[in-house]
Amino acid sequence: MVRLLLLVIPLAVLAGCKTENPEYCKNNPGQCSSPGDGSNGGSCGSDGECTVQGFPVCVKTIGDGTCKACSDTNKGACKDSTPRCENNACVACVDDVQDCGGGVCLLTGACADPSRIIHATSNSGLTTNCGDTAANPCALPAAIALATAGKDVIKLDGRDTFTQNGFTVSKDLTIDARGATLARGDNGPVLTVMGGKTLTLLGGTIQGARGGMGSGILCNGATVNLAGLGADQPTVTTNEQFGIDATNCTVALTRAKVENNTSTGIKASGGSITLVRTQLAANHGGGVDISNGAQFTIVGNVFVNNGTPTSIIGGINIVTNASNNRFEFNSIAENKALTSAAAGIACTANFTAKNNIVWSYNSSVPAMAGIQVSGPCGYSYSDIGPAGIMGTIDMGNNQNIDPKFKDKMADLHLMSGNQLSMLQQSDPGSNLTGIAEKDIDGDQRVPPAYIGADQYHP
């Protein structure tokens, strides 16, 4: 057996050596790449020498020339759900203009087929025979009415404000609102999504709802997705009731902002709610209220300065009997509430929250000052205080260290003055893929990941 191994090992070494010989690669394009590296198609002198499928572009600035998927000047293999070139690799689109030629970049990573798009502008009065091009846009209510199953993407051209007495979505729609604002002209919600329908909102601002029903988005039995792509983040702000009022809805926010609403930022009664890399800030009635059996997945978010000395809810209130819930990598600070419930997290559910920072005082109730969590929910691998936790809710590996946020009232990024060697102790078994892969800024989480929403980078 020893002799056999001695014979096999040199053969393996010799087989690998040929790919490290630049002369071999030049004479055999497409047959070699960096050992153990599947990110290129071998060495090259021109595009014509790149014959490995998926690597058609010769990038001469890498080595003496390396076959890659694409370059800054050549999209190469980039198409379908990965039409954008970044670092010589094809990735999902993020920009309507750069990646989609002025069309619409979708959540799937692909660019919408032009035949699916209805163009709308704030100053258009057209209601029929419109919307096929940016040169012939519809009014927004008309665009919504004209939508069909095969023409279901509305692009709001121009960075304008669209003001109506409410917009009602009664069809499955994607609205590309990047740079635009939707506002209410009278009392009532800005956007109403009818039961059984799906609205996907890309970017844009929803603001100015007034009156007793004045929520930014109102839904009952519908699906609502808000997502930020590239530099654009959907923002729901300054509405006189809830930012989002959802009853038995499936609600998902990714890279969004819900801030400065008079009542609670998001009310989720029944259904489900998913929050990822989203900021809830300065909502007077509290950040999020989850009740009536709603299921939740809340990962990588910031809850800051929500609630007032007279509000019932502070950062987040969770009252649900749903199972399979997740609350991880969130930063929560300087929220306030009137009642005896803690201002950070008031929770009655069967789950353990982990890898969170929940800090600062509840100055509204002197008896609760410094107490950030209440209820029977468990906590682990978290930094909670100034008042620490104990008893059955302490599931172990919790800390009680001032995180020294950059600005505890507005900016919960970590600073270099932190005791970072302690604050980076997240659960070593944490899943850092999928929705937990990146922090609030889009920075990669790598083990040992920091707790809270911000993966600190010196």
Residue 253 in contact with residue 232, Cβ under 8 Å? no
pTM value surpassing 0.85: yes
Q: What is the pLDDT of residue 16?
A: 36
Question: Which two three-digit tokens encode residue 127?
Answer: 């209601």
Cα three-residue angle 282-285-289, rounded to 5 degrees: 105
Task: Count other Cβ atoms within 10 Å, centred on residue 135.
Answer: 7
Q: Which amino acid is at 258?
A: V
% of the chain exceeding 90 in pLDDT: 76
Separation CA 138–CA 258 (nearest Å)? 29
Residue 347: φ, ψ to 5°: -140, 130
Does residue 448 have a cis bond before it (omega within 30 degrees)?
Answer: yes
Least confident of 279-283, 294-298, 454-458: 454-458
Question: Which two three-digit tokens encode residue 262?
Answer: 């008079």
pLDDT at 88 over 90: yes
Separation CA 116–CA 97 (nearest Å)? 17
Residue 327 in contact with residue 305, Cβ under 8 Å? no
Q: What is the pLDDT of residue 4?
A: 35
Separation CA 320–CA 240 (nearest Å)? 26
Residue 270 in contact with residue 213, Cβ under 8 Å? no
As a whole number, the mean pLDDT across the chain is: 89
Helix (H) or strand (E) holding 141: helix 140-146
Task: Count other Cβ atoms within 10 Å, centred on residue 381.
Answer: 23
Q: Any idea what DSSP says for residue 146?
A: H
Q: Which of 23, 190, 179 is nearest to 96 (CA)?
A: 179
Q: What is the pLDDT of residue 23?
A: 46
Q: Give the residue carrying structure tokens 């035949």.
A: 115
Q: What is the pLDDT of residue 427?
A: 95
Q: Give the residue carrying structure tokens 């704030």.
A: 122
Domain positions in the chain: 23-91, 97-243, 264-458
pLDDT at 146 over 80: yes
Strand ranges (E), 256-294:
257-259, 266-269, 272-276, 279-281, 288-291
Question: Which two three-digit tokens encode residue 195?
Answer: 């039961």
Give 82's strand partners: 79
Separation CA 198–CA 367 (nearest Å)? 45
Question: Which two three-digit tokens encode residue 397?
Answer: 């590996």
Q: What is the pLDDT of residue 15?
A: 35
Separation CA 186–CA 240 (nearest Å)? 12
Question: Which two three-digit tokens encode residue 365?
Answer: 């109730």
Separation CA 246–CA 244 (nearest Å)? 6
List CB contacts of 258: < 8 A, sequence separation 6 or more.
235, 236, 237, 243, 244, 265, 266, 278, 279, 280, 281, 283, 287
Q: Any idea what DSSP says for residue 20?
A: G
Question: Which two three-digit tokens encode residue 229?
Answer: 């792509």
The mean per-residue pLDDT over the stretch 166-183 comes to 97
pLDDT top residue among 446 and 202: 202
Q: Give the residue carrying structure tokens 């005082």.
A: 361
List CB contacts of 25: < 8 A, sequence separation 6 or more.
19, 31, 32, 42, 43
pLDDT band at 1 (very low <50, low <70, confident <90, very high): very low
Q: What is the pLDDT of residue 416?
A: 76
Q: State the Cα torsion 237-242-248-254 to the nearest 10°.
A: 20
Q: What is the pLDDT of residue 421?
A: 62
Helix (H) or strand (E) holding 373: strand 373-374
pLDDT top residue among 364 and 68: 68
Residue-level length of the chain: 458
Q: What is the pLDDT of residue 367?
A: 67
Q: What pLDDT, in 10s, does the model give residues 15-71? A: 333 333 444 444 444 444 443 357 899 999 999 999 999 999 999 999 999 999 999
pLDDT at 244 over 70: yes
pLDDT band at 417 (very low <50, low <70, confident <90, very high): low
Give the torsion sign (CA, 393, 396, 397, 400). Answer: positive
pLDDT at 355 over 70: yes
pLDDT band at 420 (very low <50, low <70, confident <90, very high): low
Separation CA 279–CA 310 (nearest Å)? 22
Q: What pLDDT, in 10s, does the model give residues 96-139? A: 999 999 999 999 999 999 999 999 999 999 999 999 999 999 99
Q: What is the pLDDT of residue 418?
A: 66
